[in-house]
Amino acid sequence: MLKNVAKKIILNTGLLSVKRCFLPRTALILYYHSVVDEPLEFNAYINTAIAIETERFRQHMQLLRKRYHPITLDEIRRWLAGEMELPPRSVAVTFDDGFADNYAVAAPVMEEYGIRGTFYLTAHSVEHQTLPWFCKVHYLFDRWTASGQSFEDNDNESGQRFRVDSPEELAIAYRHFGHPCARSPIEEQEKWIAKIESLIGVSYDSANAPKMMTWNQADELARRGHLIGNHTFSHPNVAHLTPEDQRSEIERSDRLLRERLACPIDHFSYPHPCLNPQWDTASQELIAKAGYKTIVLTEPGWVTRQASPLQLPRVTIGNLTSDEFLWKIETAFAQINT
């Protein structure tokens, strides 16, 4: 409570505005994932940490239109290239993964306020209408923890038995099964999903899972003025792939997006499901060679005129209240990470 009061005082006194006067012009890139009326409804599949309530998202967009200047990634690219100027307090909105609620819920809300965003699609998930691996692992772990049962991975060198009632062992188990998926292409990811199902005796429920955006929906968003970008083929952490898998992830997604969509595909977003770092020089060179004009990261920060368009930081936005949202934006413009 005291923290919230202090934040309001700082915002109302204009201290952050004074600090901005001594700083160079910056732009912000916000990133979201899922927008739904009730995030808890699909919590078994999509962690509430990356889902925001529709009404809160609408409040965010209202504030963006009222207090800031909504722009697009194309405008940031042109600004960095010296082709145009940006108004002060410019903010771009982006979405990772390609959930269907981006089309059905988020985009219409944005359009109410004249805001256009960038939607990064996980190509395999859109093509096959299946959630990315991290959502499936989240679902299976949710079912496992609900069962209260322990299980043993006999392939583990220690033959470790993972107990659901131990937060430490739960975290170890998640790393044990999640990290290999993050380091692997789709074929290996699917083997790990099947292994978890076998060990805990629960099958992934695709029938009741949230949907992914379709290609037709993505094309329609582009016709309505939004941008469509690439979020890899199967959502691994690209920096932790072998050189061959790295190339395959980028090339397969690039080819599929350009085959299925009529709109330009100029923007790329690195997945960051777990593990650090999320990018490396080799993957950046591959992405640039494929013709992408911007690459966004999950690393927090603001965009200056000197920023590389291939290493753009973003501001993560969760299910924040209006006050929390304003604090996040104002501190970022004051070049303070919060």
Per-residue pLDDT tens over the stretch 111-167: 999 999 999 999 999 999 999 999 999 999 999 888 877 776 665 555 567 776 777
Contact 98, 119 (CB under 8 A): yes
Whether residue 139 sits in one domain with residue 120 = no
DSSP string covering 147-194: HT--EE-TTSTT-PEEPTT-HHHHHHHHHHHHHHHHTS-HHHHHHHHH
- Token pair, residue 12, equals 């109302």
Classify burial at 148, counting beta carbons within 10 Å of its beta carbon; exposed 0-12, middle 13-18, buried 19 or more: exposed
- Mean pLDDT to the nearest integer, 26-37: 98
Whether residue 75 sits in one domain with residue 186 = no
Domain presence at residue 205: no
Whether residue 240 sits in one domain with residue 182 = no
**Domain around 121:** 2-130+210-333
Domain presence at residue 338: no
Whether residue 19 sits in one domain with residue 121 = yes
Whether residue 183 sits in one domain with residue 292 = no
Whether the per-residue pLDDT at 5 is higher than 90: the answer is no
**CA–CA dist 324, 181 (Å, integer):** 33
Whether the per-residue pLDDT at 291 is higher than 60: the answer is yes
- pTM for the complete prediction? 0.94
Taking CA atoms, 128 is separated from 42, 106, 219, in Å, by 20, 22, 17
The Cβ of residue 254 has, within 10 Å, a number of other Cβ atoms equal to 21
- Among residues 271, 309, 307, the alpha carbon closest in space to that of 288 is found at 309
Whether residue 55 sits in one domain with residue 145 = no
Tens digits of residue pLDDT in 93-105: 999 999 999 999 9
Whether residue 125 sits in one domain with residue 138 = no
Whether residue 324 sits in one domain with residue 280 = yes
DSSP state of 229: E
Q: 2 falls in which pLDDT band (50, 70, 90)? A: very low
CATH of the domain at 23: 3.20.20.370
**Domain final position from 200, 218, 249:** 200
Tens digits of residue pLDDT in 309-323: 999 999 999 999 999
Domain presence at residue 193: yes
Whether residue 123 sits in one domain with residue 141 = no
Number of domains in the chain: 2
Q: 219 falls in which pLDDT band (50, 70, 90)? A: very high
